[in-house]
Amino acid sequence: MQNFHITLADTSSTSVSQCFVSTDGVYNARARVLGGGSCINAGFYTRASSSYVKRAGWDEKLVNESYPWVEKQIVHRPKLALWQKAVRDALLDVGVSPFNGFTYDHKYGTKVGGTIFEGNGRRHTAAELLASANPDNLDVLIHANVEKVTFDTRGKKPKAVGVIFKDENGRKHQVFLSKKRGSEIFVSSGAIGSPQLLLLSGIGPKKDLQKMNISVVVDNKFVGKGMQDNPLNTIFIPTKNHVEQSLIQTVGITKKGVYIEASSGFGQTNDSIQCHHGLASAEIGQLSTIPPKQRTKNAIQDFKDRKQDIPFEAFKGGFILEKLATPMSKGELKLINTNPKDNPAVTFNYFSHPYDLQRCVEGIRIIESLVKSAHFTNDIGCDEETTEKLLNMSVKANINLIPKQINDTVSLEQFCKDTVITIWHYHGGCHVGKVVGHDYRVLGVHRLRVLDGSTFKESPGTNPQATVMMMGRYMGLKITRERLGRRGATNV
Ligand SMILES: Cc1cc2nc3c(=O)[nH]c(=O)nc-3n(C[C@H](O)[C@H](O)[C@H](O)COP(=O)(O)OP(=O)(O)OC[C@H]3O[C@@H](n4cnc5c(N)ncnc54)[C@H](O)[C@@H]3O)c2cc1C
């Protein structure tokens, strides 16, 4: 857990985290490792709401059998850090109630969710779920980069027949689907990787594919469309003493369309070089004190170079995070080249919809009242002297204190736009009904499905990983039961 920001700051070609910068200028990250985002994420685990499950058209009973399968194997109850307790109590103080205790369920109010970190900070990941598989039926290739899915286009409807991939030595391999009835290819390359792979394989908007000299298998204008990233805005709260490090454990599910989360505990020594801001660290691109378009590599380097001049107080305290629940702003993903290892061009258009901006402002106002709540100041011991000292140096230190013009709506809107960073919950690109059907089969071809966050029209729960993992089990059971026939499959 302590290494969260270190992994994301590693931009080498062998890093398990691959940085990408959306055309909006916001730095982001995608996983490049078996287990995907669960290997690099902040660990918070929480289910989707029952209304989300209904909207998705999923079988509720099967969903409720599938979440616990994940939870039993890799999810833990967190040992609540002081900062998280203070935020929990403050959320209740300001009316984000009731208190729903420790629960995976998504309900209005305040709760403590699960985590894939053990008490000692050791991470569990989705890759461990493979341990439940029958090893005789499973081959796992790591460092295998899929270049494209191949098709037999002779029939009426193209049929996926295999994939071409490169191994760690750059050698190309072509593999074919078994001839067995029901054999299929599942693409689970995530919200960036799956639309990218479909496009590379010839499924997408004809004009765009032709520009890249890719043979068109299916002309589908929706591939890569509807990309969204829930904007994150944070407020730094300095404290007199060090606060224990924590990622996300508490969440406030408000009726204003924002989720309030928190992170804390940065520098552990008096050496400011060692200091960082956890999931809001400038070093990982979360440089929130300058507007997105100005967040260049040089600006990040500049922050690193000046770090030793930053007062130590700027690293004592924590953040309160505001995530927009269901952004209405949408963007798109387009290929820049045909190298699957390169990032495509991704645009999220943060806050291009006025309702998103309005909800962000509401969220900042909730944070303002939260920080002023009696519980918060008592539990945390916010020190007015330190706060005052930091107020005028927030830009230098990459920390956002609550803007002084808190009653000025216009400037709060600007604050939202200028300080937007990511919580890495981007989704879309292969929407259900547009690119895949309700059974996640890719429209217009046989024997190919996409199953991951690219199919989401909105991010599930307050944080998505629980539902992405649940979907794997859910679809696995559904397909197996369908194949075996209900009567023969009661124990599946
Ligand atoms: C830094 C960070 C923090 C986060 N914090 C949280 C959190 O606290 N709680 C939470 O619920 N969610 C969190 N998330 C989000 C969550 O991890 C993701 O939503 C989730 O992992 C998405 O799952 P996915 O299967 O859609 O895609 P991914 O997890 O991105 O998996 C895609 C996989 O496909 C592989 N891949 C891509 N292209 C290819 C190719 N061409 N060939 C072969 N393999 C390929 C990748 O290596 C990767 O393993 C966080 C994400 C990040 C990045």
214 CB-near residues (< 8 Å, 6+ apart): 199, 200, 202, 338
Distance CA(218)–CA(156), nearest Å, equals 12
User: Do the Cβ atoms of 455 and 436 come closer than 8 Å?
Assistant: yes
**pLDDT per residue rounded down to tens, the chain (492 residues):** 778 999 999 989 999 999 999 999 999 999 999 999 999 999 999 999 999 999 999 999 999 999 999 999 999 999 999 999 999 999 999 999 999 999 999 999 999 999 999 999 999 999 999 999 999 999 999 999 999 999 999 999 999 999 999 999 999 999 999 988 889 999 999 999 999 999 999 999 999 999 999 999 999 999 999 999 999 999 999 888 888 889 999 999 999 999 999 999 776 555 555 678 899 999 999 999 899 999 999 999 998 888 888 888 888 889 999 999 999 999 999 999 999 999 999 999 999 999 999 999 999 999 989 988 888 888 887 777 777 777 777 878 888 888 765 555 658 899 999 999 999 999 999 999 999 999 999 999 999 999 999 999 999 999 999 999 999 999 999 999 998 885 454 444
Dist CA 436 CA 186 (whole Å): 12
* Strand locations in 177-329 (E): 185-187, 203-204, 218-219, 225-227, 231-238, 250-253, 258-264, 317-324
Which of these is catalytic: 106, 124, 425, 427? Answer: 425
142-227+426-461 and 78-114+229-339+352-422 share a CATH fold: no
State which H helix or E strand residue 83 sits in.
helix 82-93
Residue whose CB lies within 8 A of the most ligand 1 atoms, among 465, 470, 473, for a mutation test: 465
Q: What is the pLDDT of residue 490?
A: 46
> In degrees rounded to 5, what are phi and psi of residue 97?
-130, 165
Nearest to 461 by CA among 116, 56, 105: 105
Query: By the 8 A CB rule, do 83 and 243 touch?
Result: yes
Residue nearest atom 30 in ligand 1 by C-alpha distance: 190
The residue ranges of DSSP E strands in 239-339, in sequence order, are: 250-253, 258-264, 317-324, 331-334
Helix axes of 465-484 and 60-74: crossing angle, nearest 10 degrees: 120
The predicted structure's pLDDT at residue 227: 98
What span, in angstroms and rounded, lies between the C-alpha atoms of 238 and 306?
20
What is each CA distance from 198 to 34, 140, 240, 246, 310, in whole angstroms?
A: 20, 22, 52, 38, 46
| pLDDT for the residue numbered 1 | 78
Burial class (CB in 10 A: 0-12, 13-18, 19+), 353: middle
Nearest ligand 1 atom, CA 17 = 53
- Can you tell me which atom of ligand 1 is nearest the CA of 8? 1
The vertex-10 CA angle with 233 and 122, nearest 5°, equals 80
Q: For residue 405, what pLDDT is reported?
A: 55
Q: Is the CB of 200 under 6 A from ligand 1?
A: no
Identity of the residue numbered 486? R
Residue 54 has phi, psi (to 5 degrees) of -65, -45
For the chain, which residues make up each domain, given as ranges?
78-114+229-339+352-422, 142-227+426-461
C-beta 115 within 6 A of ligand 1: no
Tell me the HSE value of 26 on the side-chain side, using a 13 A CA sphere. Answer: 26
Q: Which of 316, 480, 486 is nearest to 390 (CA)?
A: 316
Q: From the CA of 38, how far away is ligand 1's center (Å)?
A: 6
The CATH topology of domain 142-227+426-461 is FAD/NAD(P)-binding domain (3.50.50)
30 close to 192: Cβ distance less than 8 angstroms:
yes
| CB 208, CB 196: distance < 8 Å | no
Partners of residue 240 on adjacent β-strands = none
Kindly report the number of other CB atoms within 10 A of residue 489's CB atom: 13
Is the CB–ligand 1 distance for residue 278 below 6 Å?
no
Amino acid, single-letter form, for residue 137: N
In this prediction, residue 382 carries a pLDDT of 76
φ, ψ of residue 424 in degrees (nearest 5): 65, 30
- Residue 197 has phi, psi (to 5 degrees) of -70, -40
Nearest to 478 by CA among 1, 99, 62: 62
Q: Identify the pLDDT of residue 491.
A: 47
106 is catalytic: no
Helix (H, G, I), strand (E, B) or coil at 51: helix
- Residue 404: its pLDDT value, please? 64
Helices (H), 255-353: 297-305
Angle value at C-alpha 411, between 408 and 414, nearest 5 degrees: 155
Output the CA 113–ligand 1 centroid distance in Å: 20
Burial, 118: exposed, middle or buried (Cβ in 10 Å; 0-12, 13-18, 19+)? Answer: middle
Structure tokens at 229: 């990233």
CATH topology for 78-114+229-339+352-422? Cholesterol Oxidase; domain 2 (3.30.410)
Element containing residue 90 per DSSP (H, E) = helix 82-93
Judge if the beta carbon of residue 463 lies within 6 A of ligand 1: yes
What's residue 410's pLDDT? 59
**Atom in ligand 1 nearest the alpha carbon of residue 465:** 11
